[in-house]
Amino acid sequence: MKQYRSKEIYADFYENEGKPLAVIMSGSRPGLPANISDDLSNYLKQNFNLLLLAYYGVGELTKSLELVPMEYFTNSINFIKDKYNIPDNKVIIIGQSKGGEAALVLTNYMKSAITIACVPSSYVFQGLPEDLFSILKAQPKASWSFNNKELPYIKFNIDDEAMNNAKNNNFCRCYETSIEKNFNPDAIINIDSYKGKVLLISSENDSYWPSKNMCNTLVENSKNSNNINHVSLNLEGHSFLKYDESVREIINYLKANVE
């Protein structure tokens, strides 16, 4: 295993010569991807070059999940592709939760064969400061940027109910009301230009944000819906890289779609 620890790329890389590249990006937990099941980890290490990519909150990366440059993702992934001679049609991007949002946004900035987005968003949302409960005082910023400009985003609508729910790790209503009251059509993630295949895995009982409804929105809005497969599972939580049922969906999809 090779460790990369710089502002250009902060990642763990498991080389598997001649195999495709799988990139994993986790959610709104800073640092390297965690909570990956042994079954998924072992399958990916046996069949892919595997890149576990951090994108904020560690090393020289931005400390908060705000204005994370899309160039960071493209440059770090392209660095691995070039170094290990991996073509675009052998790249699979796997994102979970906020990393699923990033993975879908990334379809507009780089080529890949497959994007798997677990419990993702269909919108770019306001970013998260280091101290989540300072969000009422913090200056709103987008989660992502490109060319030093923030991407259009939906601002949070935060009231007493939302804050009380957040204390119990239930953020869904906050996101729902933010969509209702602060809707920004430019914040909708557009994957129409993406030529690869997309697997969306959502949660029927999502307490973090309305992933099932947002995945349905992605499918309904897409001009390439034939390339999208949406699976909704009766699971709670967001650790879809760990739960047996969601991991089976990922592995089976990869077995069926990776040459």
Does 147 map to a domain?
Answer: no
Domains: count for the chain: 1
pLDDT at res. 236: 86
Strands 21-25 and 10-14, how do they pair? unpaired
Q: In Å, what is the CA distance from 240 to each residue of 24, 37, 212?
A: 12, 9, 13
Q: What is the pLDDT along the chain (259 residues), one digit of tens a residue?
A: 999 999 999 999 999 999 999 999 999 999 999 999 999 999 999 999 999 999 999 999 999 999 999 999 999 999 999 999 999 999 999 999 999 999 999 999 999 999 999 999 999 999 999 876 667 777 899 999 999 999 999 999 987 777 777 777 778 888 999 999 999 999 999 999 999 999 999 999 898 999 999 999 999 999 888 899 999 999 988 999 999 999 999 999 999 999 7
pLDDT at res. 133: 66
CATH number (domain holding residue 196): 3.40.50.1820
User: For residue 253, what are the domain limits?
Assistant: 2-123+190-257
Q: In Å, what is the CA distance from 79 to each residue of 51, 67, 69, 112, 217?
A: 11, 21, 16, 14, 33
Does 24 map to a domain?
Answer: yes
Does 217 map to a domain?
Answer: yes
Q: How many residues does the chain have?
A: 259
Does 144 map to a domain?
Answer: no
Backbone φ/ψ region at 221: left (φ over 0), alpha (ψ -120 to 50), beta: alpha
pLDDT at res. 163: 72
Does 170 map to a domain?
Answer: no
Based on its alpha-carbon atoms, the radius of gyration of the chain, rounded to whole angstroms, reads 17
Q: Is the dihedral of CA 154, 105, 201, 22 positive or negative?
A: negative
Does 142 map to a domain?
Answer: no
Does 181 map to a domain?
Answer: no
Does 252 map to a domain?
Answer: yes
